[in-house]
Amino acid sequence: MADNSTTPDPKGKQIASDNVPENISSPQAEVESENEEDNDETNTGATGTPATGKKKKSKRKKIKAALGVGSSSESSKETTRDDLSKAVAGLNGDLSGKQAAEAVRKLSLEDIMTGLASSESSEIIEEGPFKIVDPAQVPKEPGPLISGFNWVTMDMTSDEALQEVFELLYGHYVEDDEAMFRFNYSKSFLRWALMSPGWQKEWHVGVRATASGKLVAFISAIPVALRVRNKTLKASEVNFLCIHKKLRSKRLAPVLIKEITRRCYLEGTWQAIYTAGVVLPKPVIIWCYVVEDPTTKKLTDFFSFYCLESSVIGHAKHTNVRAAYLFYYASTLALDPTSSRADLGARLNELIHDALIIAKKYKFDVFNALTLMDNTLFLEQQKFGAAGDGQLHYYLYNYKANNIAGGVDKMNRIHDGGSGVGVVML
């Protein structure tokens, strides 16, 4: 899979490729600037707060139009604050099982993942944990499941367990609203994504049907050191919440979320990061390219993107869409005190232009990017086209944070000031 070719750099440098598996003038920007002056501190400590909403730049609507599928109108769902409050209490163990179940029953998964956040406000809050957790009060055993199902820890070093998780995700994970696309995965990708440095075996949580032993639900987390402005948190990245389609009415999602939270608590991890609104997939492989100064032989720039193929469900002609997703990049210009933001923008445009050429060479159908990092410096210039069909919201579990600029304004248009988000959730 390695690509050992080189391509000329716009300024005479050479791009050497190698595959590896791995001052915004707005109130919220002012909050970020003020908080940067505080001292570094690691926080420990159950609700989530929205960190940002970012505009997704994609071609999915155009693909659907080309395939002859129109956008279906979404029915609006209203959830009362009382329902949300009850659900929060249930997840925190402040309600009886029956009361919590009744509250959660009224919520969709989207409500659970996004509705627990405080609404946007211009009021500046003191950042930190919502709740300080007493380790002695964390249950040592999982909570009860509905009759006919039991908890299991999936050993991802086992080929058999890996196959089970692969099959569950392949058949029941992410689909779009029209059930037209479903992400394809590989077992090698799953091992890479779920067994990142410092991975915890107990954080690969499954649910089996007692009678058949079949894996019917899964959720995972991996450890991360997460910087929120000037504070570094020992956190987890929660992902791959997947439930068998026939069991969606069993309300297993909040139970899985509560269980992965308990297991993280047992390891002294009190915060987590997750996304909602649009679920991002994991890459099968990541293409990484570096720029080397021909004189000093030092690396000056770097960019990467990953491949995710989607099956086109039930279409006679088109069976697959091959998409590239922009991953991390860096340039020494960003650290040069003599360089301006315009200089950085010009350099990033050169780099991403090369990325688009390389992606075309590898026969990708589309190239997607969010408005995080410094992407707003090149999205329009590189003709990424109209906005995608949604936003991706980042949330922090058990941590209060003022809103972080996501690269878009209140009208969901690209903001010239850029984004305060530097985390790419796969």
What are the residue numbers of the active site?
426
**Pairing between β-strand 14-20 and β-strand 285-292 as defined by DSSP bridges:** antiparallel
* Residue 394 CB-density burial (10 A; 0-12 exposed, 13-18 middle, 19+ buried): buried
C-beta of residue 396 within 8 angstroms of C-beta of residue 272:
yes
Tokens describing residue 401: 């944070």
**What's the CA gap between 28 and 37, in Å, rounded?**
15
What DSSP designation does 115 have?
Answer: T
For the CA atoms of 193, 194, 195, 196, the dihedral, rounded to the nearest 10 degrees, stands at 50
**What's the CA gap between 372 and 422, in Å, rounded?**
6
C-beta of residue 354 within 8 angstroms of C-beta of residue 346:
no
C-beta of residue 165 within 8 angstroms of C-beta of residue 215:
yes
What DSSP designation does 254 have?
Answer: H
**Pairing between β-strand 204-209 and β-strand 215-228 as defined by DSSP bridges:** antiparallel
**Pairing between β-strand 299-312 and β-strand 181-183 as defined by DSSP bridges:** antiparallel
**What's the CA gap between 174 and 323, in Å, rounded?**
15
C-beta of residue 396 within 8 angstroms of C-beta of residue 117:
no
Going by C-alpha positions, the residue among 309, 337, 334 that lies closest to residue 324 is 309
Tokens describing residue 30: 């002012």
Neighbours of 311 (CB within 10 A): 17
C-beta of residue 263 within 8 angstroms of C-beta of residue 282:
no
Which string of b and e fits 80-107 if b means at least 16 CB within 10 Å? eeebbebbbebbbeebeeeebeebbeeb
Q: Which of helix, strand or coil describes residue 289?
A: strand
**What's the CA gap between 88 and 188, in Å, rounded?**
37
Neighbours of 125 (CB within 10 A): 13
**At 97, which helix (H) or strand (E)?**
helix 97-105
